[in-house]
Amino acid sequence: MKKKIIIPIVGILALVLGTGWYLYRAQTPASDWGTTVDPNDTQAIPGLEITLKDIGALENLEIDTSIFSDSVFQSLEKYAIGTSSQEQIGRANPFIAF
């Protein structure tokens, strides 16, 4: 008889404690979850110091485009699966009444 009373009491107690913990955690401010960073502030993120030297290196970047004139690249074919039918599926305005 005692087991029939103890098991529901323990279950209800666990449910009440779990709900209380969930509600307590839901009230914590969003600032505690993570940090928000101004995207224009480069000093806010460690290791993200963008300098004029880095920008200059990007401007001097050269890309080799000779692969586009290669015969193997030119022999590639586009394999696209298109739609086979052009009939309209559904109604033009699905929100109007029948």
Q: What is the pLDDT of residues 78-87, one digit of tens each?
A: 887 766 667 7
pTM above 0.75, yes or no: no
Over range 23-42, report the average pLDDT. Answer: 63
Kindly list the domain boundaries of the chain, sorted by start residue: 1-29
Note the pLDDT of residue 16.
93
Report whether 42 contacts 49 (CB < 8 A).
yes
The one-letter code for the residue type at 35 is T
